Structure 1
Amino acid sequence: MNIENTIKDQINQVIEKEYCLKDFKFQIEEPKDKIYGDYTTNAAMLLAKKRKSDPIKIGNEIIDKLNKAKKKKSVQLSEYFSKIRVVKPGFINFYLADDFLKNELAHILDNGDEYGRTNEGNGRTIVVDYSAPNIAKKMHVGHLRSTIIGSSICRVYSFLGYRVIGDNHLGDWGTQFGKIIFMYKRKYGEVIKDDMTVGEMESMYVDFHKKEKIDLGFAGKARAELKKLQNKDKFNYRLWQLFCKISISEFKKIYKVLDVDFDLWRGESFYNDMLQEVVEAALNGRIAKRSEGAVVIPLKKYGLPDFLIQKSDEAFLYSTTDLATIKYRHEKYNPIKNIYVVASQQELYFKQLFKTSELLGLSSNEEMIHVKFGLILGANGRKMSTREGEVADLWDIINEGISKAKKLMTKKNPDLTGDGLESAAAIVAIGAIKYNDLSQNRLTDVKFDWDKMLALESGSAPYLQYTYVRIKSIFSRIGFEFDSLQKNIDLSLLGRSNEMILIRDLVRFPGIVKRVLSEHRLNLITIYLEELAKDFHNFYENSSVLRSEKNLAVARLGLLKAVARIMKNGLFLLGIDTPDRM
């Protein structure tokens, strides 16, 4: 149950009925100090300001109506709360009732992994554009944040019932292919070499730029090869297809390790036949104009630089492809949101793109969102790179993490060996990489410090994974099957302070997940899981579970099972797995 939604819906009903205000905007928050309740709202203060009245008086009026109002199935709001109070300067505070908390705990145990899922997005589609590596180039550290953040956003929307289309908009077209094809022919002639690697393709691209400085004829020869590719020359086109096939095969290996999936792999080339139509529509609709042979969208009156969509030599640009992509997605999927998970450096570009899309009518009634993020830096605060100054390769980072995790786990648990060690080390390393990113404010730069990332301390994925493993191990020690714990547990036996703190934590989960979507702040989940883990460890270290009277022990085991379920659900939304042993 999403308690925040319940409070908001009930208050909205009161305000609409008693004060004739529809869709009144106010906030529901969790007070930092629990002396002020479990939830608080500023509704009375905002309403009092609008009506030029006393917020305490308005607050008491709202409370009176809430206590009398009936919900569906004749359930009163007062059944959820032990008390509802208004305090100066006009906050309304809500205190959850113990009976409600225990009933919700039973609901968690009954629903397991489904707790917190909703169908609020039923019938609505979200398109998430993320990761988007370039063909013929290795994935590097710069691809991590888009991939990790985008995948988690997809999971959260899907968890709330939306139809989610994750699109890996590959960089599979452009001038770089003329350069790579030219260098390939210099080395191998017109022979198809099926065993090429992405690293070899990337080396050709780098080598081209080195030699281009010496031989000025290189640029013209690369353009000639590109032109042949664009005209579907048999050999060049077949070679390009090979580059794509090999690159995608390599990317999929990385995505498999990262546990990241896509619904679509639509590269830029997919939209090639649609580009001229976009330009013509912009010109015919007088949205675009010609300037020195090029086609631009004037945006200065919107506070933005003009947007180039076709060069003077009639070549198209990324902007043209992106506009065609928006049009295609609108016609094919009719999404309510188009979300682009791309670094902050592209903020201006996306403002231009979204405004142009609006002017062209390509995305009517769709929300266009740029989920931006900062850089990944090394532990020294500098841009991550190899000793040679190159951008750090993603495989190297993953393998380094697994190696470090393996050493730490072998030291802490010598009995963990073989395939069990390999699997656990991979889960911990990948979890550490993802958590290090998602636990931060995405707008800030993220430091890559393996010592902190792999530490069994608060602020790391291993700390949360260990919390889950520790709970499972409690069941193992007493020979109790975790999944077979009886459902008819006497939860009325729970009532001590640290038990109720844990239950209060658990019932907050649906509201936390819902809140993530307002700003796509995935660190709200990590903050929540940190608090849940801390309260669990405090409970377990100060309460006897296994040595308690039998019925109380079973009730406490039920509470721990619920904590493990929510911990796993939260980690799932972050794309983080849990090992069986650590």
Structure 2
Amino acid sequence: MNFNIDPKIFETYPDLKIGAIIIKGIDNTRRNSNVEGLLRGAAAQRGKQFSKYDFNEEPKVKAWKETYGKFGINPNKYPPSIAALLKRVGQGKEIPHINTLVDLYNYFSLKFMLPIGGEDLDWLCGDLNLTYTEEGDAFRPIGSINVEEAKEGEVAYKDNGGITCRYWNHKECERTKFTEKTINAVILVEDMSKMHMDEFGKMLREMQNAIIKYIGGQIEPYILTEDRTSVDLGVEGRMTANDSKVPQQEKAHFLQEEAKKKLVNKPTDQTVKKTPKKESKSLDLESEDFAKIQVKKALEEALTAAFKIEENIKVEYPNDEDHGDYASSVALQITKQLKKAPQEIAKEIIENLKTGDFIEKAEVAGPGFINVYLSKKYLEEESKKALKDDYGRSKIGDNKNIIVEYSAPNIAKPLGVHHLLSTIIGQSIYNLYKELGFNAISVNHIGDWGTQFGKLIFAYKKWGKKEDVEKAPIDELLKLYVRFHDEAEKDEKLEDEGRKEFRKFEEGDEENRELWKWFVDESMKAINKTYDKIGGIHFDKTQGESFYEDKMAPVLEEGKEKGIFVEGDEGSFIVEYEDENMTPFVVQKKDGATLYSTRDLATIKYRVDTWSPEKILYVVDVAQSLHFKQLYEAASRFDWYDDQATHVVFGRMHMKDGKMSTRKGNVILLEDVLDEAVKRAGEIIEDKNPDLKNKDEVARIVGIGSVKYNILSQNRITDITFDWDTMLSLDGNSAPYLQYTYARAKSILRKAKAATEESPSDQKPEDTAKIEEKTKSLLRALPKYKEYIARAAEEYKPNVLTNYLFDLAQKFNSFYNTVPVLKAKIEDQEARLELTEATSKILKNGLALLGVEVVEEM
């Protein structure tokens, strides 16, 4: 699927250039107060600017208005998107929050004064084209069920389903708009002002960095001009779409929602008591011990003292540490309420803010941000606390249960490299919640049930030999499984034979049950061996699908009695959904057999009844997204379910030879990958430090740690390409870099212990200002460790912690390269050694939460 610009466009508009930023695997589900603060700040600045000056005189706006005139559209009646945006802020109106991606492109649109929009790639149908319309082209405006028809010769973005944006960039369509569910997108930045290509490219890079920072994803930026009119969008999109016809069900839903809005807004003389909507349970992972929470409370107290109002203030980390330890945009949020300029509000809050042992000072920045700086006394006290082995551990989750399900391999098949993501991401999330004091329960939900066992039993009886299986159980079982599928492609009757064997197994056939148990036992021996090689993998419970064999019937009976499960085709039972994008959820086949959907429902009920968990986290790849939506929606119709389950989705791992498949037998074995990692790490050690003690053990720790960290350091929502060079690099955000930094810190501490207590004779004059800067920078990073553990757990994203550890390691290395430690004066040395030790402990403990070991020497 491509994005194309019709060459005829350039005949009339030769100065056009479009930046196309293709983004895949974003997380657009969460509101981001940093992004909203940026948008409010840009809106306030432009609003102030254009309250006295006509934005229509801006060269970039003027260029677009002239463009509209060329294709016969009145730009005052149908303004370009940038003109509409500037007009709104010039009138003092707010830019409403839509979702984080829209907030981001609105911010950059205001900042650069260019039209910026985009399309949800998964909702496009065929190529996206910037072209001229034909008479009658269908356009369904955003937020509407009414369909408009274009005239011939308008400029618009179109695909096979209709117009996606009318009058060039005036208004987007309903179908391809960005929502919280958007995962793959293209952002389109349009320029008609003859901006220099270098400046345009720099602007796109700034946008690219912001997108990665705030919503993640993999990004490919392109610039389209007359010389390059097409780019591959890299996704398939929808097979069919027709914007000229709005489905009846969607019309009814739209009208129903509109009626609800009118009812809510209707004036009434009586106070109507509303039934609160059941909301998804969220975990409170904040602690009074966090500096961030203490700053938040101090600002809230100052706000109340200044204006006699209460507000739940959001506190964030500034992008630049020169702007303080923490920042808040509260003044921008309440400017309308107080009818005061945000800078004045911020100033009065700061005047009422208590400073001293904790907060050193606060400053107003930009349009009204409040930047808060912690005191050196507090930072030094906190660094001493970081010398304790349990620094970072908390009791936030005291007496609360949380279940984390991960790995979930299939019996009779070896662990492939594709199992690694679920296993190490899940283990890391489990570790994070244990560190926060939760009673975390890790579960390995092994695939030991299903028709595949009928196929395997049949294959063993027909072609298998006991001695071959006993000699190499997993290899032989995999060969049998693959052979069954190869033979079934030639003879379809084999599929029926496999189903018969499984039915016999379900009905309790003794021979089939014994074979199945043997397959399970042999498989788990091999799987546990691989877990041991990975290291740090732990399960509190290993409960296969078979564990729920006797727990399905009560759920099926309850579902049928309550009308949750209704009869489908030929006597099967299904769950039906209002959402047309969710297919019926089959829970019982026409022959009475159960499915993994049935077992999954029984699993949720068992876990809720047994542990009363705050959350049940399913760490499973993106391919199962629809299944979990169907599962949770079905579960929500039962009284015993209270929205505890969450799908912790992650992208797929891609190798150079493409997608991996077990069925055809070309699975890339996880053990082989781990062995290769250790081998490569050993070769690097042999090259760099051949005299290192315990070379083999160091190679194991570095090699396997590199594989783990390479995955955990990436946003789990994005796809991951396996890259040996990146993961084993001693530079950049890698395990070897952090392990080397830890080893360097430990080396300093060992040398200090062995040294005499006299000041070294070869001291050099110190650059006091530089030393103060580097020392304070490292000091300021330490207290945030606790906060990043909580944030990583809250977002189910280990890369939040890896980003912190990488930043800490960089700050320590910068400190070490600038600040004398071993050659410092005695009166300075103790504090600098304590700072070194505190850093080493945080690095070691933080890496342990990720399952990555450290070495004392490298």
TM > 0.5: yes
CA distance in 1, matches of 2:307, 2:609: 42
Residue number in structure 2 paired with 1:453: 727
How far did 1:311 drift?
1.4
Residue number in structure 2 paired with 1:207: 483
Residue number in structure 2 paired with 1:330: 608
Give the partner amino acid of 2:402: I
Could you say what secondary structure the match of 1:309 adopts? strand
1:248-298 Cα deviation digits (max 9, x unpaired): 111111112222111110110111111122122112112221112111111
Which residue, out of 286, 292, 303, partners 1:4? Answer: 292
- The answer on whether the counterparts of 1:494 and 1:500 sit within 8 Å (CA) in structure 2 is no
1:366-421 Cα deviation digits (max 9, x unpaired): 4321111111123x4844689x981211011011111111111122111135xx22
Residue number in structure 2 paired with 1:41: 328
Residue number in structure 2 paired with 1:295: 573
How far did 1:40 drift?
0.2
- The answer on whether the counterparts of 2:703 and 2:728 sit within 8 Å (CA) in structure 1 is yes
1:285-338 Cα deviation digits (max 9, x unpaired): 122211121111111258633222111121111111111111000000011111
The range that moved more, 388-397 or 398-407, is: 388-397
Give the partner amino acid of 1:120: I
User: TM-score, with normalisation over the residues of structure 2?
Assistant: 0.61
Residue number in structure 1 paired with 2:628: 350
Residue number in structure 1 paired with 2:411: 135
Residue number in structure 1 paired with 2:437: 161
Residue number in structure 2 paired with 1:245: 521
Change (3 A) 1:137 1:300: same
- The answer on whether the counterparts of 1:142 and 1:375 sit within 8 Å (CA) in structure 2 is yes
Q: How does 1:196-345 map to 2 (within 5 A)?
A: 196-258=472-534, 259-292=536-569, 293-301=571-579, 304-345=582-623
Residue number in structure 1 paired with 2:94: none
1:472-518 Cα deviation digits (max 9, x unpaired): 1222334449xxxxxxxxxxx99721111111111221111121133
| 2:395 is aligned with 1:119 | yes
Change (3 A) 1:443 1:248: same
Could you say what secondary structure the match of 2:834 adopts? helix
Change (3 A) 1:341 1:99: same
Q: How does 1:464-503 map to 2 (within 5 A)?
A: 464-480=738-754, 496-503=772-779
How far did 1:213 drift?
2.5
How far did 1:195 drift?
4.5
User: TM-score, with normalisation over the residues of structure 1?
Assistant: 0.89
CA distance in 1, matches of 2:721, 2:490: 38
1:409-456 Cα deviation digits (max 9, x unpaired): 122111135xx2221111111111111111111111112111221111
Give the partner amino acid of 2:368: G
Could you say what secondary structure the match of 1:359 adopts? coil
Change (3 A) 1:18 1:170: farther
| 2:736 is aligned with 1:462 | yes
5+ unaligned residues in a row in structure 1: which ranges? 68-76, 482-492
Give the partner amino acid of 1:339: L
CA distance in 2, matches of 1:385, 1:423: 33
Change (3 A) 1:532 1:192: closer
Could you say what secondary structure the match of 2:429 adopts? helix
CA RMSD of the aligned region, Å? Answer: 2.6
Residue number in structure 1 paired with 2:360: 82
| 2:680 is aligned with 1:404 | yes
CA distance in 1, matches of 2:690, 2:468: 49
Give the partner amino acid of 2:566: K
Residue number in structure 1 paired with 2:646: 369
How far did 1:49 drift?
3.8
Could you say what secondary structure the match of 1:444 adopts? coil
CA distance in 1, matches of 2:848, 2:313: 31
Could you say what secondary structure the match of 2:407 adopts? coil
- The answer on whether the counterparts of 2:405 and 2:618 sit within 8 Å (CA) in structure 1 is yes
Give the partner amino acid of 1:279: L
Identity rate of aligned residues, in percent?
38
Change (3 A) 1:14 1:329: farther
Which residue, out of 403, 418, 438, partners 2:712? Answer: 438
Give the partner amino acid of 1:372: V
Residue number in structure 1 paired with 2:854: 578
How far did 1:224 drift?
2.4
- The answer on whether the counterparts of 1:494 and 1:556 sit within 8 Å (CA) in structure 2 is no
- The answer on whether the counterparts of 1:309 and 1:317 sit within 8 Å (CA) in structure 2 is yes
- The answer on whether the counterparts of 1:194 and 1:242 sit within 8 Å (CA) in structure 2 is no
Residue number in structure 1 paired with 2:314: 27
1:54-81 Cα deviation digits (max 9, x unpaired): 43344344445542xxxxxxxxx64211
- The answer on whether the counterparts of 2:771 and 2:818 sit within 8 Å (CA) in structure 1 is no
CA distance in 2, matches of 1:62, 1:167: 49
Which residue, out of 678, 697, 703, partners 1:429? Answer: 703
Instruction: Specify which structure has the bigger relative contact order, considering alpha-carbon pairs within 8 angstroms and separated by 6 or more residues.
Output: 1
CA distance in 1, matches of 2:324, 2:445: 46
Q: Which structure has the larger Rg?
A: 2
CA distance in 2, matches of 1:13, 1:338: 37
How far did 1:52 drift?
4.7
Could you say what secondary structure the match of 1:296 adopts? strand
Q: How does 1:500-579 map to 2 (within 5 A)?
A: 500-579=776-855
Change (3 A) 1:203 1:402: same
